[in-house]
């Protein structure tokens, strides 16, 4: 799973609001441009995003390894027919383009996650969305980014414990039920510990967040976001 890593890349030095603008406009452009040419241009933008964040494409794809089989299977399933002709390649074109579009959006999101800390993401959301709604969204994003890696680690530990007890010799449905039950127990325990920790620290709605400032480095990112947004509606 990709996580934030401190660094000195171009994307690390950008304001998180600029990076959020690029993500949103890139997703909008991806929905608007569904042709091979449009996706090729968006692929170049995604590659530039990974390069600007010093994120390896291999590492980004490895982090998305669980989603990639579904993206590959969708065009195949769409093209399969129950009668002659048994496989229609033309029917797989549109789902394949949609899968590529989703993959490109994932890659741009991976560049954001690698270069933006949780506190910066929360501060950006609270600056963009005013009032208690923005605070709630910021808290939710912060908790999700902190909570998901722990839940994933707990699931891996449950699987390792099952393997150590020769759990791999059980039927698939038994293994899945044991891992799911163990993961749920640990997730609820994590949630209880989180609630206790928040109360112990006198959880506040308005903590001190990092100061965000736009700089000259944000001009290219904001220009790219504007161009992508315009292209989505033109």
pLDDT digits (tens, 9 = 90+) for 79-94: 888 777 778 888 888 8
Shared-domain flag, residues 216 and 196: no
Residue 220 lies in a domain: yes
Which pLDDT score, from 0 to 100, does residue 34 have?
A: 83
Model pLDDT, residue 204: 60
Residues 56 and 147 in one domain: no
Q: Are residues 108 and 156 in the same domain?
A: no
- Which residue numbers in the chain have pLDDT < 50? none
88 and 79 in contact (C-beta within 8 Å)? Answer: yes
Q: Which of 106, 101, 138 is nearest to 123 (CA)?
A: 138
Give every CB contact of residue 43 below 8 A, 6+ residues apart in sequence.
100, 104
Evaluate whether residue 121 is within a structural domain.
Answer: no
Distance from C-alpha of 5 to C-alpha of 9, rounded to nearest angstrom: 11
In a domain, 205, yes or no: no
Count of domains for the chain: 2
Residue 206 maps to a domain:
no
Domain that holds residue 146: 132-200
pLDDT (0 to 100) of residue 50: 92
Position 124 in a domain: no
7: in domain = no
> Which pLDDT score, from 0 to 100, does residue 202 have?
65
Verify that 65 and 143 share a domain, yes or no.
no
Is 112 in the same domain as 223?
Answer: yes
- The answer to whether residue 125 is domain-embedded is no
Indicate whether 123 belongs to any domain: no
| Residue 55 shares a structural domain with residue 98 | yes
pLDDT for res 49:
92
Three-class SS state of 203: coil
**pLDDT score recorded for residue 203:** 63
């Amino acid at each position: 799973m990709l996580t934030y890593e401190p660094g000195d890349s171009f994307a690390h030095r950008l304001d998180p609001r600029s990076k959020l603008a690029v993500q949103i406009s890139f997703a909008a452009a991806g929905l608007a441009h569904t042709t091979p040419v449009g996706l090729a241009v968006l692929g170049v933008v995604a590659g530039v995003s990974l390069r600007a964040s010093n994120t390896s494409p291999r590492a980004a794809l490895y982090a998305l390894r669980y989603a990639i089989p579904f993206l590959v299977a969708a065009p195949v399933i769409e093209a399969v027919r129950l009668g002659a002709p048994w496989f229609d390649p033309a029917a797989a074109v549109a789902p394949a383009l949609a899968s590529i579009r989703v993959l490109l959006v994932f890659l741009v999101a991976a560049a954001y996650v690698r270069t933006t800390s949780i506190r910066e993401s929360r501060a950006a959301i609270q600056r963009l969305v005013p009032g208690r709604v923005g605070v709630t969204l910021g808290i939710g994003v912060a908790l999700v980014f902190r909570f998901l890696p722990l839940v994933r680690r707990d699931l891996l530990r449950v699987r390792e414990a099952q393997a150590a007890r020769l759990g791999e010799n059980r039927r698939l449905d038994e293994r899945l039920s044991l891992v799911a039950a163990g993961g749920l127990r640990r997730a609820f325990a994590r949630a209880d510990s989180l609630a206790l920790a928040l109360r112990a620290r006198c959880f506040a709605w308005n903590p001190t967040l990092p100061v965000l400032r736009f700089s000259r480095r944000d001009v290219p990112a904001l220009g790219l976001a504007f161009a992508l947004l315009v292209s989505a509606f033109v």
